[in-house]
Structure 1
Amino acid sequence: MGLLADRTRSRWGKFRPWVLFGALPFGIVCVLAYSTPDLSMNGKMIYAAIIYTLLTLLYTVVNIPYCALGGVITNDPTQRISLQSWRFVLATAGGMLSTVLMMPLVNLIGGDNKPLGFQGGIAVLSVVAFMMLAFCFFTTKERVEAPPTTTSMREDLRDIWQNDQWRIVGLLTIFNILAVCVRGGAMMYYVTWILGTPEVFVAFLTTYCVGNLIGSALAKPLTDWKCKVTIFWWTNALLAVISLAIFFVPMQASITMFVFIFVIGVLHQLVTPIQWVMMSDTVDYGEWCNGKRLTGISFAGTLFVLKLGLAFGGALIGWMLAYGGYDAAEKAQNRATISIIIAPFTIVPAICYLLSAIIAKRYYSLTTHNLKTVMEQLAQGKRRCQQQFTSQEVQN
């Protein structure tokens, strides 16, 4: 999808057309995914497989260009931070709102007929999503123009892989998504078996989401004060310390854990907008190195490794619980199982955050000063010497 977007030429730009024209099919398939046709069981299985495949495909068609827009609406790093900060503030608020409204919509539309209620509820959300995506199309403009792409897709893939800063951001993406995915997957088990209060799970998750909302809003003012790369690795280091500290919190210390999960929500979502801006920065760096602005494939590649991290994180939870002998039917878990439940909520995220901090501090070179040099030379039509990617520091 990234390769296709990079090769799109239209009066609306490279990415905005995909957002608009993919929105309606995506909304329709969302409704179909919550529809139950009058078929045999095998027919329903085939239907589900086809619709789910279409759903993920159309999500990709819309989402990759949408994500890439952050790199072409402006080339000002400060404005990019503001853009991504607002994006995640509103995305978090939208996610919380849709979660809160879904069941009332189901009951209002379907009453006792839950399948009809869910179909109607998703239809309402799909209409809202279409309107928001159309609003995005009509109110944005692609200001950063890329030179025409004349190379093959194979050469583009080679060039993006040779971009050392892109590879570093990809690695950071894997570790950060692993941290949030593993902890999120273990959250219900932790609240149930460690805190011993499964009834507070919704409140626990809501506290984390409220922290996310605040963290997204803090990204802009903090990066105005300090270099975003410094903020990124320091925040990840702090997340590693806090995640490890939770390991030593006594069982059933619910109030303490609410405080911890709120702080983690703030800090994790603080680095998320920064990380997305770092993705855009690697595109500028790539253009400076070889004259090719590969925005679409850069974001597509990063989203690909993000999905790999999600898949591995989800599988890791299952592997760890199976290894620890977890049995949902038991009224009490043994000591080994309890330790296994605690580990993905504390130790695994701590390791991921620590690795992210070390990698960002040691290997990511596009600091505010260095990126300013890159942008100035791009504006002057200059390129890096020998037009090759290297892992050396950017020099004036």
Structure 2
Amino acid sequence: MKSENDLSVSELSTDTQPDEHLEKLSNKERVSYGVSDFACNIANGMVGTYLMYYYTDVFLVAAGAIGTLFFVARIVDAVCGPAWGILIDHTHTRWGKSRPFFLWFSIPYGIFFILAFSSVPLDSMGKLIWAYVTYIAIDVLYLGINIPITSILPSLTSNPQERVRLSTVRQVLATTGATLISVMVLPMVALLGRGNNQLGFFLTAVIIGVLTSCLLLVTFKNTRERVHPKNDHKLPLSESIKALKGNWPWMIISLMYFFFWIGMQTKLQVTVYFFKYNMHDAGLASVMLGLQAISLVVIVFTPFLTAHFGKKGTMSIGLGLCVISQAILGIGAHYLSVPILAAATILGYFGNGFFAGLLPVMLADTVDYGEWKSGVRAEGLVTSFSGIASNFGMGVGGAVTGFLLSMNGYIANHQQTPQALKAIEMNYIWVPLIGFGIGLILMYFYQFDKMQPKIEADLMARRLKEE
């Protein structure tokens, strides 16, 4: 049986003897990589979809105060995101650069996730302080495990098709996790709490938190980092930043991710509100959120579609479907028509499938582009901005939701005024449409696909020359 040191020697030898078949990973490793995002999506899916509802309608904190919390947390992200990326680039262990983070931070994340859904008996100010401490903690720790999920991909293999396969497995499992959590949270809260929503949310969080930590440890155990450039060493920050300078694919993908998550977060976190207050049937929220299982079909076929339309074309199709679905949702909301809302939701999840299936691959491409253009390979710093972009987008989306609800007179667990209902509808339909539309426009400027063959050939020649 090989020791960890023995594995390190065999992994490093891959760089000195480039051979395509050595980078074709086992199904065990592909699945182990994919369960990392399954874990993140069951935990962060519960946070992104239900935490605001939990804060306002269960923990009883004012919507405007929560909107401010989400915005403040994004300021923290702006500092912590790059810090995590730099830390990854300066990490050199026998396990690699990104992989150790799953070992170090999986359990702390699970603990603070549980604490965030713990209804401690405090006064209004105490509750708000508790929300700030626990939410910002899980936000920072989430970056510490989610950024490595993306930064490790270009280190697992340099084979483009293997990267697509890894990304596909990852996104299938991620979407499965997000779907399960969307459907199961409210029924689990009702079952475990037996009428006590505070207890129900806490016990649900315990189950999800423990499962998340265990799955991240599985990822740590069964993955290996293989791609190590000869000049791989602890890069000073001034050197790492060179991988970002002039990296237009990275800039476009980061901006697209930011605007996409503004739209997606406002929609996700207000779904329960929309069906509880606008449609008068909160149970429909789980049904509509569960329809995201449809995107699994799209993710599975993403590699085949990408072969025909390219990454840019496939991503544009996905964002276009998201925009169209939001417009149809507007019609369904106007007529309070469940069939129209369901049809529009299904169409939107088809679009989400294209987005989810391709984004990690496109981010890995930006690492290669940065190395090709600057000679510096900084997986951590480059990919950390995907976590920053998504978290900042989610935070802005959360702030928009909280402020719109507060400004229009939302009162938890009461019949809402027409203005409050309109604010809920705005968050559910029109803010997402704008976010997805801006993302679609940005894809027009993405030109990496045409350059990729030359970039791959140049990088391979450069690495062979360094031997």
TM-score, shorter chain, exceeding 0.5: yes
1:266 to 1:24, Cα distance in 2 relative to 1, 3 A: same
After TM superposition, the structure 1 stretch with the greater mean CA deviation from structure 2, 125-134 or 136-145, is: 125-134
Cα offset, 1:264, TM superposition: 0.5
**TM-score, normalising length from structure 1?**
0.82
Report if the CA contact (8 A) 1:78-1:224 is conserved: no
Secondary structure of the equivalent of 2:362? helix
**For 1:110-189, what aligned pairs fall within 5 Å after superposition?**
121-146=204-229, 147-149=231-233, 151-157=235-241, 159-189=243-273
1:78 aligns to 2:176 (yes or no):
no
Partner of 1:370: 451
Task: Write 1 or 2 for the structure with the bigger share of helix.
Answer: 2
CA distance in 1, matches of 2:196, 2:281: 31
Match 2:293 to one of 207, 210, 220: 210
Q: Percent identity over the alignment? A: 26
* Equivalent in 198, 201, 206 of residue 285 of structure 2: 201
Deviations 1:65-87 (A, max 9, x none): 12222222122333222222221
- Please tell me whether residue 316 in structure 1 is matched to residue 400 in structure 2: yes
Give the secondary-structure state (helix, strand or coil) at the position aligned to 2:296: helix
Which position in structure 1 is the counterpart of 2:53? none
The answer on whether the counterparts of 2:112 and 2:137 sit within 8 Å (CA) in structure 1 is yes
In the alignment, the residues of structure 2 paired with residue 17 and residue 304 of structure 1 have an alpha-carbon distance, to the nearest angstrom, of 20
Counterpart for residue 257 of structure 1: 341
C-alpha separation between the residues in 1 aligned to 2:216 and 2:453? Answer: 32
1:290 CA displacement:
0.9
Cα deviation per residue 1:105-135 (whole Å; 9 max; x = unaligned)? 7788887987777655544433322331122
CA deviation vs aligned residue, 1:224-251 (integer Å, no higher than 9, x gap)? 3321111111322232233224333441
Summarize the Cα distance change of 1:5–1:190 in structure 2 as closer, same or farther, 3 Å threshold.
Answer: same
d(CA) in 2 for partners of 1:88 and 1:75? 19
Structure 1: 5+ residue stretches without partners = 384-396
Equivalent position amino acid for 2:240 in 1: D
- TM-score with structure 2 length normalisation? 0.70
Instruction: Tell me by how many angstroms 1:292 deviates.
Output: 0.7
What is the letter of the counterpart of residue 325 of structure 2? I
Identify which of 56, 61, 66 aligns with 2:144: 61
> Offset of 1:191 from its aligned partner?
3.1
Secondary structure at the aligned position of 1:380 is classed as: helix
Alpha-carbon deviation of 1:278? Answer: 1.0
Which moved further from structure 2: 54-63 or 272-281?
54-63
Structure 1 SS opposite 2:347: helix
Secondary structure in structure 2 of the residue aligned to 1:346: helix
The C-alpha deviation readout for 1:272-297, integer Å capped at 9, x for no partner, is 22122111111100000011111111
1:180 to partner: Cα distance: 1.0
What amino acid sits opposite 2:258 in the alignment? I
Q: Deviations over 1:160-186 (max 9, x none)?
A: 254222111111111211221222244
Deviation by residue 1:75-101 (Cα, 9 ceiling, x = unmatched): 233322222222122122223435666
1:379 alignment partner AA: M
Q: Secondary structure in 2 aligned to 1:248?
A: helix
Determine the structure 2 residue equivalent to 1:283. 367
Question: Which whole-Å CA distance do the structure 2 matches of 1:109 and 1:14 have between them?
Answer: 40
Cα distance in 2 for residues equivalent to 1:378 and 1:247: 48
Which residue does the alignment assign to 1:350?
433
User: Could you tell me how far 1:301 is from its partner in structure 2?
Assistant: 1.6
- Give the deviation of 1:299 after TM superposition: 1.5
Q: 1:223 to 1:260 in 2, by over 3 A?
A: same
Deviation of the 1:317 alpha carbon: 2.4
Deviates more, 1:305-314 or 1:284-293: 305-314
Q: Give the C-alpha shift of residue 350 in structure 1.
A: 2.7
Assess if the C-alpha contact under 8 Å between 1:288 and 1:382 holds in 2: no
Q: Is it true that 1:293 corresponds to 2:383 in the alignment?
A: no
1:28 deviates by 3.8
Corresponding residue of 2:390: 306
Q: Structure 1 stretch 90-99 or stretch 36-45: which is displaced more? A: 36-45
2:94 to 4, 7, 11: 11
Q: Match of 2:305?
A: 222
Q: CA deviation at 1:14?
A: 0.6
Offset at 1:324? 5.1
Instruction: Measure the CA separation in 1 of the matches of 2:199 and 2:326.
Output: 42
Superimposed CA distance per residue, residues 202-226 of structure 1 (whole angstroms, 9 cap, x where no aligned partner): 222222x223333333323322332
Cα separation, partners in 2 of 1:267 and 1:17, compared to 1, 3 Å: same
Tell me, in whole angstroms, the C-alpha distance in 2 between the residues paired with 1:330 and 1:149. Answer: 59
